[in-house]
Amino acid sequence: GKPQTRGVVRQRQRWTEFYNQDRYRCSLRSDTPTITKHRNLATMKTSFALLSVFAASASAFAPSGPAFARSTALNSVPLANGAMSFDRVCREWRCKYTGDKATSESLEEISKLVDEYLPQIKESSSDAKVNRLVCGSCLDFKLMTTVPLDDFGPWEEKGFAPEGEFLEKLKAIEGVSQVETQTITNMEI
């Protein structure tokens, strides 16, 4: 269900379990059905009915999830025993640069390289999202290209083009070190 209504659903399940316990039900097996049991049963049925009405009305006002979540939920891959899922995969290219982030010549050259290859990178998918991350304290540079799961396989078969060329030029920049790649899921939540 929707994340906003999971708590209501769990509460409904708890009420159902409570209601179904023998000690709170008036049963034909009981030798001495008491008025108290009948009152408890009636009270519980009323409470359960009110809770059901509340849950139904609360979900009517709950905000719907983002459009991408509704449209891709059927194609997602579960993780963590179903606690998470993904339908977008990211290819990350990263390195270390030298110098201060405001005046780094190696970071400036990296920027020029990204500008040169950005149109080709975006050809990986019509729905590609490219993010640039720069950390000024640990001198990390990361370029993350996220594509829908359906587009990832074909892009991978092409060697994540233009990854090879881009990384070779990145390694040639003075002050750049620890050039690495990683494939990870990347979901907006």
Read off the pTM.
0.61
Which of 64, 97, 114 is the last residue in one of the domains?
64
158 and 115 assigned to the same domain: yes
Percent of the chain residues topping a pLDDT of 90: 59
Residue 96's domain comprises 84-185
pLDDT at 2: 47
Whether residue 62 has pLDDT greater than 70: no
SS3 at position 172: coil
178 and 90 assigned to the same domain: yes
| Beta-strand pair 84-86/77-79 | antiparallel
Distance CA 152, CA 129 (A): 12
| Number of other CB atoms surrounding residue 43 within 10 Å | 11
Residue 160 lies in a domain: yes
88 and 60 assigned to the same domain: no
30 vs 162, higher pLDDT: 162
The answer to whether the beta carbons of residues 162 and 114 sit under 8 Å apart is no
pLDDT, mean of residues 96-124: 98
Q: Domain count of the chain?
A: 2
Indicate the burial class of 166 (C-beta count within 10 angstroms; 0-12, 13-18, 19 or more). Answer: buried
Distance CA 44, CA 17 (A): 12
The answer to whether the beta carbons of residues 178 and 95 sit under 8 Å apart is yes
Percent of the chain residues topping a pLDDT of 70: 61
